[in-house]
A and B are shown apart, each in its own frame.
Chain A
């Protein structure tokens, strides 16, 4: 049985569709990264899964319960860390976690142990008597995480658990997630790709309210393997350069990297076609009176796929783009 099952989930705010008929499932014990740019519909989806908001249509089941008709059971079995980690800043860490454990129905005799356990896991025992408002951002994040797992729920839903943290703190959160992996199903959203590669094997990419990609990282590595990433500079201005390069056959996901005055672009192309494609790009730029220089060719990496999939909210992928995604 899947721990999270989402079917044709749609959320509309008036005329705006935030989540557009998405479907996916997360198996028991799986860790899945939920990726997408800000405003793609990540938080909205997670809020529906945690019963904070209902969907406009479609169904979702978490831990075997329907989020709409069995909201209470879903909430009892889900630990949730909302975006921005809201906490009562006037409370002390231990008191807050005891309070949360009570709300989540941890029996009185187990409360101390559960709270101690959660604090030990999130490495906050040394601040257990401090006032939350006096803690650093990193510690607050850990308190939020301890809250999410204090009643040992089978499913954890974490909305951007690493936003606003420094690299060391990000590493700490990563280790914590790895530690609780196994017995717990974890769905977390993020927009930092390298982090996902370190934590989990499966990724769901959401863009403009739709699922753009759902698969394992190995899948994606295989998928990008035949592609190369080409970066170059040109004497043309950015806009005309992008426009003319986009029209060259065999070129996908043209991106403008310009910082300062020299125009710098990047695109993906098939490795097999690399030499010929470069020649075509050079010719296309020359036709506009532009140069094609400082060319650097890299292996395409999974991150290229993500940035390509999620940039430019309004753009529709071109024919070659779709080929890369296929």
Chain B
């Protein structure tokens, strides 16, 4: 247990002590603010209904760019700097390494989300004439945001585990994310004759699942979706780390 804690701490520190994650945090907040402002101005600065949706309305889109950049070096740099060799010849297990990288990333993502709580105050202020934002949907929105970030982080770490080139890893996870998000709207999927193909494609995209959380609903299928896909990509990452043994 103390090993896992030490590993997670190291991962989290590697984000905190480097400038790039903070630059990404800055862009994250900038984009969040931009889409929030855009959404609000659509209703002339005053929302018709006071909901938390405008804050995270484009989160799946923003993170599609930022999460690959945040996670790109997590395993790839350890490979290219050979620190993977020191790490894996210590008595730690491959799954501990991957899990700690994911948890470290996740913790930093939590840190990134923190400043967005300011929109609660903003919404209270501009929503004054209509009403206060409901705490319930806000809680589910954040819950959904964490699940979304967790999934993206798992995909990013999996991509990072495949290569020793951080930029390559970023491209890889970016395309994996685009595929996952857009597979439902691809023309040949849309025109597929079988109903289940379209259903499956829509189910694969995190968008609808995430939106349910934004609307204040915790759906079992959403929990299952995020839980299983996150676990799956982390499992892939562990296997990819293990591949040194059978390649």
- Residues of A near any B CB (own CB < 8 A): 47, 50-54, 72, 75-76, 78, 80, 82-84, 86-91, 99-100, 102-105, 108, 147
Contact = CB atoms under 8 A, between A and B. Distances in A.
30 contacts: A52-B85, A52-B89, A53-B245, A54-B246, A72-B91, A72-B93, A78-B89, A82-B89, A83-B82, A86-B81, A86-B82, A86-B83, A86-B84, A86-B85, A87-B83, A88-B14, A89-B81, A90-B14, A90-B17, A91-B10, A99-B9, A102-B3, A103-B3, A103-B6, A103-B7, A103-B87, A103-B90, A103-B91, A104-B91, A108-B2
Contacts of B85: 47, 52, 82, 86
B199 interface: no
Among all A-B residue pairs, the 9 with the closest Cβ atoms: A86-B82, A102-B6, A75-B91, A103-B90, A86-B83, A50-B89, A76-B91, A82-B85, A80-B89
A83 B86 CA distance: 10
Nearest to B18: A90
B92 interface: yes
A53 B244 contact: yes
Contact of A99 (B6, B89, B93, B246): B6
Given A51-B88, A90-B18, 4 more contacts: A75-B90, A80-B86, A90-B17, A105-B91
A52 B13 CA distance: 25
A242 B146 CA distance: 72
A100 B10 CA distance: 10
A100 B83 contact: no
Contact of A75 (B6, B82, B89): B89
Contacts of B244: 52-53
Contacts of B88: 51-52
Interface residues of B, number: 26
A87 B84 CA distance: 10
Q: Taking chain B's interface residues, is the majority helix, strand, or loop, or is none over half, making it mixed?
A: helix
Contacts of A72: 91, 93
Contacts of B6: 99, 102-103
A80 B85 CA distance: 9
A87 B9 CA distance: 16
A80 B82 CA distance: 13
B90 A100 contact: yes
A43 to B, nearest CB: 10
A102 B1 CA distance: 10
Nearest to B87: A103
A211 to B, nearest CB: 23
A222 B244 CA distance: 43
Q: Taking chain A's interface residues, is the majority helix, strand, or loop, or is none over half, making it mixed?
A: loop
B195 to A, nearest CB: 46
Contacts of A90: 14, 17-18
A100 B9 CA distance: 12
Contacts of B10: 88, 91, 99
Interface in B86-109: 86-93
Contacts of A50: 89
A105 B3 contact: yes
Contacts of A105: 3, 91
B86 A82 contact: yes
Contacts of A89: 81
B239 to A, nearest CB: 15
A1 B72 CA distance: 46
Task: Output the residue of B81, B83, B85 with the most chain A CB within 10 A.
Answer: B85
Nearest to B77: A88
A89 B7 CA distance: 16
Contacts of A52: 85, 88-89, 244
Given A102-B3, A102-B6, A86 B86 contact: yes
A88 B10 CA distance: 10
B162 to A, nearest CB: 18
A147 B86 contact: yes
Contacts of B7: 103
A82 B85 CA distance: 7
Contacts of B9: 99
Interface in B1-58: 2-3, 6-7, 9-10, 13-14, 17-18
Nearest to B5: A102
A80 B86 CA distance: 8
A32 B195 CA distance: 69
A102 B100 CA distance: 14
B104 to A, nearest CB: 13
Contacts of B17: 90
Task: Output the residue of B14, B82, B246 with the most chain A CB within 10 A.
Answer: B82
B100 to A, nearest CB: 10
Contacts of A88: 10, 14, 83
A284 to B, nearest CB: 50
Contacts of A104: 90-91
Contacts of B87: 103
Nearest to A86: B82
Given A54-B245, A86-B82, A90-B18, A103 B92 contact: yes
A108 to B, nearest CB: 7
A224 to B, nearest CB: 37
A173 B85 CA distance: 22
